[in-house]
Amino acid sequence: MNIISGGVTAAKGFTASGIHCGIRKNRSKKDLALIYSEKPASSAAVYTTNLVKGAPLTVTKANLTDGIAQAVICNSGNANTCNADGVEIAETMCRLTADALGIRASDVVVASTGVIGQPLCLDPIRAALPALASSLSVEGGRDAAEAILTTDTAVKEIAVEFLLGGKVCRLGGIAKGSGMIHPNMATMLVFLTTDAAVAPAMLQKALSSDVAETFNMVSVDGDTSTNDMVSILANGMAGNPVIDAEGEDFSTFMKALNTVTVWLCRKIAGDGEGATKLLECHVTGGKDATAAKTAAKSVICSSLLKAAMFGADANWGRVLCALGYSGADLDVNRVGVAFRSVKGSIEVCRNGAGVPFSEEKAKEILSEKEITVEVSLGDGEAEATAWGCDLTYDYVKINGDYRT
């Protein structure tokens, strides 16, 4: 498993492009991305659990019923959600994309991110699609990665290379996390592509299983967006024997997928709104997977702990507090807590009670950009990891500012 350069166009047969079409007022921000596969690809996706679902998700879900897709169209600047004609607009986006590419409208994945409840005007998209389609290229992967961003401070793209049945396969992805210019853009979008041959059902299985351990373990502010979506296209151009059942190849593919998704999770969490630090909570010794995951996620979601981490404060009482209200099946009197970063590790709590520690050393450890909260539950063998970020003045600033 090697990490290679590139992102969504690293795999064979994929090209992409990204431009400013005019949905966003700032002309220096790209706002329309296109990803294209030379051949129709197996396709799978997972969607937000929010009852309020963006219209693009409804349309994508319908389009992926047959497990096949060939292109992804995504705009930023407007979520196309809670609008009366949202579904019609999302369908039209698919049709315009299909027309420009000469493919079927039902083979298009459509996604939008931006303000909720404001009509999305199709004119700039209609006008831009021919140019967007004609500028598709491998190098355009970077443009696409930029065009899906909102106030993310960094482009998020990664790709890996691996072998399946002796064939070199690649899997890459791009993501947008939770950063905002206009509020309500706190949507996580992830587009993955691979040239591995994977049957649609197995692709969905791999994605659903992976997302439960990766993107569903990321929290920036506890608000589940209406437009979250992770999708993957597998066009089979690597020439490996089609993966249509579990086995060694499926495991290899899952590992490649997980390498990409964990990397993107860390990028999304560390680039959360206003964040100055990536927080990782690693839970060991859980009674079962549910207990470990519930515990890890509760720690990452605690506003009090997030603010303490911003202040580099080794306030382990907040970790215990978050474990206590998490709902996880655990014994408080067995809990141990340590803080870790590149500067070292420091134990602060054992068996549910404090242990003496150097505040100075703790401060040094917590002043780093990537902090791991190590929690041992002492109840069993299950492990889980969750990712988040600190809570900062800038989070309030970004989200308190007026939309207009």
Residues lying near a copy of itself in the complex (CB under 8 A) are found at 49-53, 79, 81-84, 115-118, 183-184, 186, 221-226, 301-304, 307-308, 310-313, 315-318, 320-325, 330, 332, 349, 352-354, 359, 363, 391-393, 395-404
Distance (Å, rounded) from C-alpha 371 to C-alpha 13?
38
Distance (Å, rounded) from C-alpha 328 to C-alpha 269?
23
Distance (Å, rounded) from C-alpha 379 to C-alpha 347?
19
Options 150, 187, 214, 385, the catalytic residue: 187
Decide whether 325 or 342 has the Cβ nearer to a copy of itself. Answer: 325
**CB within 8 Å of 67: residues ≥ 6 apart:** 42, 43, 44, 199, 200, 201, 203, 204
Q: To which H or E segment does residue 186 belong?
A: none
Decide whether 81 or 214 has the Cβ nearer to a copy of itself. Answer: 81
What are the counts of helices (DSSP H) followed by strands (DSSP E) for the chain? 11, 15
- Least distance from a copy of itself to the Cβ atom of residue 265, Å: 19
Measured CA to CA in angstroms, residue 239 lies from 10, 124, 188, 329 at distances of: 15, 39, 31, 46
- Least distance from a copy of itself to the Cβ atom of residue 12, Å: 38
Decide whether 245 or 332 has the Cβ nearer to a copy of itself. Answer: 332
Which 3 state secondary structure label does DSSP give 267? helix
Neighbour count for residue 21 (Cβ, 10 Å): 21
CB 92 within 8 Å of CB 57? no
CB 64 within 8 Å of CB 203? no
Distance (Å, rounded) from C-alpha 324 to C-alpha 184?
31
DSSP state of 216: G
Decide whether 58 or 135 has the Cβ nearer to a copy of itself. Answer: 58
Decide whether 71 or 296 has the Cβ nearer to a copy of itself. Answer: 296
Distance (Å, rounded) from C-alpha 59 to C-alpha 56?
5
Q: To which H or E segment does residue 19 belong?
A: strand 14-19
CB 185 within 8 Å of CB 76? yes
- Least distance from a copy of itself to the Cβ atom of residue 331, Å: 9
- Least distance from a copy of itself to the Cβ atom of residue 398, Å: 8
- Least distance from a copy of itself to the Cβ atom of residue 323, Å: 7
Please, is 102 exposed, middle or buried when counting C-beta atoms within 10 Å of its C-beta (0-12, 13-18, 19+)?
A: exposed
- Least distance from a copy of itself to the Cβ atom of residue 221, Å: 4
Which 3 state secondary structure label does DSSP give 193? strand
Decide whether 344 or 354 has the Cβ nearer to a copy of itself. Answer: 354
Give the DSSP letter string of 303-323.
Answer: HHHHHHHHTT---THHHHHHH
Decide whether 201 or 393 has the Cβ nearer to a copy of itself. Answer: 393
CA-based nearest residue to 78, from 148, 146, 143: 148
- Least distance from a copy of itself to the Cβ atom of residue 311, Å: 3
Catalytic, 151? Answer no
- Residue whose pair of structure tokens reads 């994309």 in the numeric block: 97
**Active centre residues (catalytic):** 187
